[in-house]
Structures are given as structure tokens and as C-alpha cells.
Amino acid sequence: MTNFASDSWTSLRKSDGRPRKLRVCTHEVASMRQARSIMAAQLGQAVPHRLVVHHRDNDHFNNRLENLALVTHWQHWWLHLEGATRIALLKAA
């Protein structure tokens, strides 16, 4: 399978048969949408709404496939908790 993000392609072809090239995003929301497109191309189907594309290094402009992870909303919330808050929640449970 082709590694779309590192090859800079979002899909194998456009309507005219040529490969589709990724654009450089300058806006954070557009970059996050592009991350969903990259994951959808990798999965071969749309990313379900119950899943979130998480940027491992917290840089929303780094849409390389190695930097992206599919997680649930709860897992995404847990990943972004500060260390002290996470420890306090674990002690309370």
C-alpha cells in the first residue's frame, strides 16, 4: 500500500486519472481537515465521526502519516490532559 502522506498524495487519482498532490496548509483548521483526508486515504474509506485524528507531536501542520493516530474522543481527551490532572483523576478513581 502506498504511504500517501510521505509521498504527498491524498488519493491515487483525480477524475482525469492523474495523482492528486497535497497542498501546503497555512490555516490550522484546514490542516486538521487534511489530516482526516490523509487517514481516509490510508484506510480506503471515510474516517468515522466517532474517531479523532490525533497529531502525536501536537503540531497540526505536521500531517505525515507517522505523526497521525486514530483515537476515540475519550482517548484524545486523555492524551491532552496535563500530567498532574491525569494523576489526580487516577487517584480519585
Q: What is the pLDDT of residue 83?
A: 73
List beta partners, residue 62. none
- Mean pLDDT for each 10-residue chunk of the chain (93 residues)? 45 60 70 85 90 90 90 90 77 74
Q: Whole domain around residue 55: which residue ranges?
A: 4-92
pLDDT on residue 5: 45
In terms of pTM, does the model score above 0.75? Answer: no
User: What total of structural domains would you count in the chain?
Assistant: 1
Q: What is the pLDDT at residue 81?
A: 84
